[in-house]
Amino acid sequence: MALTKGFKETVKARADREPAFRAALFQEAIELLLNDEVETAKAVMRDYINATIGFDKLAKKTGTSAPSLMRMFSDKGNPTANKLFPIIRKLKTETGLKIALQVEG
Which among 47, 48, 66 has a CA at the least distance from the CA of 56? Answer: 66
Question: Is 105 among the domain residues?
Answer: no
Question: Is 102 among the domain residues?
Answer: no
Q: Is the pLDDT of residue 95 over 90?
A: no
Question: Is 34 among the domain residues?
Answer: yes
Helix 38-51 / helix 19-34 crossing angle, nearest 10 deg: 160
Question: Is 42 among the domain residues?
Answer: yes
Q: Is the pLDDT of residue 1 over 60?
A: no
Mean pLDDT for the stretch of residues 66-81: 94
Question: Is 37 among the domain residues?
Answer: yes
Distance (Å, rounded) from C-alpha 4 to C-alpha 100? 33
Contact 77, 42 (CB under 8 A): yes
Q: Residue 9 in 3-state DSSP?
A: helix
Share of the chain above pLDDT 70, in %: 95
Question: Is 56 among the domain residues?
Answer: yes
Question: Is 100 among the domain residues?
Answer: no
Average pLDDT along the chain: 89
Q: For residue 72, what are the domain limits?
A: 5-95
